[in-house]
Chain A
Amino acid sequence: MKIKILWALLALVIAGLIAVPWIASYFYVFIFTEILILGLFAASFNLIFGYTGMLSFGHAAFFGIGSYAMALVLIHLELPFVVSLLVSMGVSALLALVIGFFCVRLSEVYFAMLTLAFGMMVFAIAYQWRSVTNGSDGLAGFSLGSFGLGLDLTLANPAVYYHVVLAIVAIASAVLYLICRSSFGMILRAIRQNPERVSFAGLNVRTYRLVAFVIAGSFAGLAGGLIAPFLRVASPELLHWSMSAEPILMAILGGTGYFLGPFVGAAVFVLLETWITSFTESWMLVLGIILALMVIFFRKGLLGTVLDWWMEIKK
């Protein structure tokens, strides 16, 4: 019964999201586009953090390279939108395979440091390889052509783009959710809790970690591909460690224990930022305080705390 209520709530939220361009001011179309994309980015991160227990500080490498791939494809090849997104996913999956191969052998702090190093290496390359990436100024001036799949959509209209993003993020999240709920996902959670026991059971922990890493990387790349036309620029900041910190913050804010936690975290993060920056420049201070409080007292995150409480009270 309780679960049904939750699903009903989710359906309500999705209906609300669909209705945003008609029920909220124009500005919120942009806000929610950003929330959806960053939510997907954070959810992809949570696959390796919340589920598999690996704290990566270089997840933005896949996000950023998805953006750059999107930009480069649109500038040089002018392929339809859907095809370009698939290219972005492919490129980031490949990068995740390479980086993941090296990183999954290490644990804890060393894993975090190596992912940081690789992430910053990608950043440095994007920053200095001016001839390909236009350096620190980034790639701009690309425009969206056709959608593909025979559908004729004016992607240049922000409300249309928002619905496209909503649809894609919904489908991608559903896929990601199924992966998390599968036996594969269960093994990942087992690895987070006790890697030795899993390996004694005869499973190759490294392989599972790598697969999770690649899946996470490709969904991050998808998010990156979606954000490039939204931001209008593919720039090195999307690869910087400070960008890698965002999905970490969002996952913690929302809760790493539930699939939708990162989405809630993304929404809270973006809405808070928009609201607070309208009356002070010290948004980072507020964010720091909130994060500190979350880590100390509400380690399960907003959604985590609420859902755990909900499950408790109606016993």
Chain B
Amino acid sequence: MIKTCAKRILVAMTAAAAIGAASTSYAEEPIRIGGIYILSGSAATYGEFAQKGINLAVDEINASGGILGRQVEMVYEDSQGKASVAIQAARKLVYSEGVDALVGLDSSGVAQGMVPTIPELQKPLIITHAATPDVTGKLCNALTYRISVNVAQNMKAAALVAAKLDATNWTTIGPDYAFGHQSWEFFGNYLKDSKPDVNLMSETNFPRFGAEDFTPFIDRVMDSDADGVLISVWGGDLVNFVRQANNRGFFEKDYELLFTVGAATEVLSALGDEMPEGVHLSTRYWYDAYDNDVNAHFVKAYIDAYGVPPSYNAEGAYAAIYAYKKAMEAAGTTDGPAVAKALSGMSMEAPNGTITFRKGDNQAMVSPNWGISGPMNAKYGIRTLTDLQIFDGEDVARSIEETGCSL
């Protein structure tokens, strides 16, 4: 009798414990987000900075209760700057690691290849760096969003800056892939619109991405009669380029120079005072350009954690995690398509102000920062940016028809 009773109680207790454990373990099962960035090779710092921004956001969110009461966990994969690797990485993250959402992409080429495969995975992707206009244009889909500035937006702003300068003979030095070519294409079109008498030279320069030696291209420009140069070289290449250009006396000539991603903090740190003064530099996000609570908190937290001001890649990634938090809580679930739907048209407070994902193409209406390199900031060892211009997001964006996106 007692035995059966005890056995029943034991069974009941075990069952209760199991159910209790099951329900608590479900609630404690973390939300996993997959990050696909360049983690090796000459552009590896970009991936690392994105990780820094993301980890900061994840720590903050977890400390304040997580998303939907669950902790957030990140899983990273290296895209190596190749679309095929990124696609495999996404499959691994979704099917093997079971992530609920994706962030990433440091390369326009990777984005062009990968974005069309996102709908099969049925998970949302927020792009935080890759700038090819196509992913919120002709390749757009309901699951892909971009929180960072794209080439079209940045080049429209660049053209606005260039239109006010005296230079009339423009050429470019850019990396030989989608980003370099599209930057020049969009810049040329926008500049022609506002300044029809400008001459876009047919002699252009597209060194290989990751090339070690830019001197032939530097020499070509110096020998030509260009007076304005659009430079879209980035990352380690830009560091190499500026040093070699310095050696060649490139900056002593009277060019109007527009560096489309020149104000990236990692580039400025590596170059120190080798980055010349008085050239136009742009970045997706300049840490000193925004005066709001979110930015003040973000910049301070980042400097406390890492000792240097945040780069734009860190900020974009940081904001993307918060975007997912808002979207998941609005949708009440981590189901991929539901979260994607919640992101559509969503506004949020990011370090670079109030941003909105436009319904028609899933692109955040944000503006690049353009400025002129000024004296050195002694504390951080990088150039300051003077004459900062922040454009209105709507002003520099293309119209939905122009993007070619049909959602």
Contacts and interface: CB of A to CB of B under 8 A. Distances in A.
Contacts of A128: 176
Contact of A138 (B77, B83, B96, B139): B83
A231 B84 contact: yes
B92 A274 contact: yes
Contacts, number: 70
A224 to B, nearest CB: 12
B84 A137 contact: no
- Which 3 A-B residue pairings sit nearest by Cβ, starting from the closest? A27-B95, A137-B109, A27-B96
Interface of A: 25-27, 30, 34, 127-128, 130, 135-138, 140-141, 231-233, 235, 237-238, 274, 277-278, 281
Among A25, A136, A138, max chain B CB count under 10 A is at A136
Given A140-B116, A232-B116, 7 more contacts: A25-B96, A130-B181, A136-B109, A137-B113, A140-B113, A231-B88, A232-B113
Nearest to A139: B113
Given A136-B209, A138-B83, A26 B116 contact: no
Contacts of A138: 83-84, 109, 113
Interface in B86-137: 87-88, 91-92, 95-97, 108-109, 112-113, 116-117
Interface residues of B, number: 27
B176 A233 contact: no
In this complex, the member of A30, A137, A278 whose beta carbon has the largest number of chain B beta carbons within 10 angstroms is A137
A141 B116 contact: yes
Contact of B84 (A127, A136, A233, A281): A233
Nearest to A141: B116
Interface string B215-240: 00000000000000000000000000
A30 B208 CA distance: 32
Contacts of A274: 92
Contacts of A34: 88
Contacts of A140: 83, 112-113, 116
7 contacts: A127-B208, A128-B176, A141-B116, A231-B84, A233-B113, A237-B84, A281-B40
Given A140-B83, A231-B84, A233-B87, A135 B113 contact: no
Contacts of B58: none
B82 interface: yes
Contacts of B78: 277, 281
A278 B77 CA distance: 8
A235 B177 contact: no
Given A127-B208, A232-B113, A232-B116, A135 B82 contact: no
B49 to A, nearest CB: 16
Contacts of B320: none
Given A135-B177, A136-B176, A140-B112, A233 B83 contact: yes
A137 B178 contact: yes
Interface in B120-166: 139
Interface in B194-227: 208-209
